[in-house]
Amino acid sequence: MSLDHRLPDELEELRRTVEAFAHDVVAPQIGEYYEQHAFPYPIVREMGRMGLFGLPFPEEYGGMGGDYLALGIALEELARVDSSVAITLEAGVSLGAMPLYLFGTEEQKREWLPKLCTGEVLGAFGLTEPDGGSDAGGTRTTAVRDGDSWVINGSKCFITNSGTDLTGLVTVTAVTGRKPDGRPEISAIIVPSGTPGFTVAAPYSKVGWNASDTRELSFTDVRVPLANLVGEEGRGYAQFLRILDEGRIAIAALATGLAQGCVDESVKYARERHAFGKPIGSNQAIQFKLADMEMRAYTARLAWRDAASRMVRGERFKKEAALAKLYSSEIAVTNAREATQIHGGYGFMNEYPVARMWRDSKILEIGEGTSEVQRMLIARELGVG
């Protein structure tokens, strides 16, 4: 039996379409947004018109009828040029819309998904807290029943897409009760933007992803209807674990794109840059760096596509998602460092894309589960954790 890793025609067409969009639309203008720490509204709206935010959702909800493999392909092609744009799509789909699609009521889906799939509205997922970090089970935000409302108090940090002009809702995890053993029961609740008591802080000053929106959120006696509960009460922790498993595939695809973008830019530079009377690409030291960079990106692509394929087939994919996320994020950092080295002094200048890639790469080892957490998950899947 032979394995065929070629993409089906429809996915190859999607890849080419997003590749052209990234190079023709994103690349010429994203640098200015990045340096100004500004959200690229025209680019994001065009992504919405292309249907990218609806890729893995059924047509009945306004989606494109694709799957997570299609989403990953789009994320990889975008991240080859810019990660701020890619993470805006990833968070909008995996964290903003997917919880509603997987766990929401039919009424919630009908109300929100059509707008989320077209990019008319962006959603966010309020999970991480200032004192929590990787301990997402240590949620302190509370939601208490009061008549026909939930009353929410607490705060969240590092929340992507939470404060743009397009943001329509944040799905918030909160403690809604206690189990018999005293452990918290965590639920997920929709908080629409503009709800009284829901405060969105100014954007963070970040090392990278400077053209994406990331903020701290606070909730002071925020009232929303009981009907805003997403899924079963007390099942929010289990729900977000599934969301994170799937999101790791998306982050792995994004990281692969960044790693491949480092190869693309470095090959171009190695051909054009002359030193001592010849292109620097003629030096074996540079050739070996480029070969190793390509090897890493190639292997990372196989890893995330394998995890996505398992997910699409309905097979268990937790270990494969963690493996893909761990490997791709770490090689993205390595490729970004090597690309900067190949570019020399120019690699330290923000006018060159590799400088942006270098700044954007580190967060990939942290977001949606740190490298340490991925190793814990893999060990557990091996039966030793």
Q: What is the pLDDT of residue 3?
A: 61
**297 sits in which H/E element:** helix 284-312
Residues of the chain with CATH 2.40.110.10: 123-234
- The yes or no reply on domain 238-381 and CATH 1.20.140.10 is yes
Distance CA 46, CA 42 (A): 6
Give CATH 1.20.140.10 domain extents, the chain.
238-381
Per-residue pLDDT of the chain (385 residues; tens, 9 = 90+): 346 678 999 999 999 999 999 999 999 999 999 999 999 999 999 999 999 999 999 999 999 999 999 999 999 999 999 999 999 999 999 999 999 999 999 999 999 999 999 999 999 999 999 876 656 667 899 999 999 999 999 999 999 999 999 999 999 999 999 988 888 999 999 999 999 999 999 999 999 999 999 999 999 999 999 999 999 999 998 898 899 999 999 999 999 999 999 999 999 999 999 999 999 999 999 999 999 999 999 999 999 999 999 999 999 999 999 999 999 999 999 999 999 999 999 999 998 999 999 999 999 999 989 999 999 999 999 999 6
Q: Where are the beta strands (DSSP E) in 226-272?
A: 229-230
Burial (CB < 10 A; 0-12, 13-18, 19+), residue 171, is: buried
Q: Where in the chain is the domain with CATH 1.10.540.10?
A: 9-122
Q: How much is the pLDDT for 103?
A: 97
What mean pLDDT is reported for the chain?
A: 95
pLDDT of residue 1: 39
Q: Is 76 a catalytic residue?
A: no
Count other Cβ atoms within 10 Å, centred on residue 310: 17
Q: What is the pTM of this model?
A: 0.95
Catalytic residue, chosen from 76, 90, 129, 368, is 368
Nearby residues of 358 by Cβ (< 8 Å), 6 or more positions away? 336, 337, 339, 340, 347
What one-letter code names the amino acid at 151? V
What pLDDT is attached to residue 135?
66
Top CATH class of 123-234 equals mainly beta
**Fold of the 9-122 domain:** Butyryl-Coa Dehydrogenase, subunit A; domain 1 (1.10.540)
Tens digit of pLDDT for each residue in 58-94?
Answer: 999 999 999 999 999 999 999 999 999 999 999 999 9
Q: Can you give the pLDDT at residue 132?
A: 67
d(CA 38, CA 338): 28
| Closest among 109, 307, 91 to 209, alpha carbons compared | 91
Q: CA triplet 155, 159, 160: central angle to 5 degrees?
A: 160
